[in-house]
Amino acid sequence: MASENVIEITDDNFEAEVKNSQIPVLLDFWAEWCMPCKMLAPVIDEIADAYAGRIKVGKLDTDNARDAALEFGISAIPTVIIFNNGEIAQRFVGLQQKTDLTAAIDELLS
């Protein structure tokens, strides 16, 4: 992960970092072999840096954290889910524009 503001989410820390988070969480479900995921990675890093302290940004490798991927029905990657109070606030499937993601975050934070 390129940005120090992006945390790695695993099956082991999912509940603490996402479900019990006191602030909204943007979670990128991805895999190493996924080219669109790699294309989205710089956008995720930029969002993490721009919203540091206001939201938590994490990446979950679906190959290594299968339980969480199954729990949220991840059938295509990249999938970005924004959680608020442990609940899904918004879901984006496929490669997304930064403006679409930030608009959803801004709406949630307003």
Catalytic site includes residue 85: no
Strands 79-84 and 56-61: unpaired
Per-residue pLDDT of the chain (110 residues), as tens digits, is 578 999 999 999 999 999 999 999 999 999 999 999 999 999 999 999 999 999 999 999 999 999 999 999 999 999 999 999 999 999 999 999 999 999 999 999 99
**CA 19/CA 46 separation, integer angstroms:** 23
Listed by start position, the domains of the chain span 6-109
Q: Which CATH class is domain 6-109?
A: alpha beta
**CA 66/CA 47 separation, integer angstroms:** 25
Q: What pLDDT, on the 0 to 100 scale, is given for residue 3?
A: 84
- Selecting among 9, 18, 25, 37, the annotated active-site residue is 37
Catalytic site includes residue 34: yes
Q: What is the pTM of this model?
A: 0.95
- Selecting among 6, 34, 77, 105, the annotated active-site residue is 34
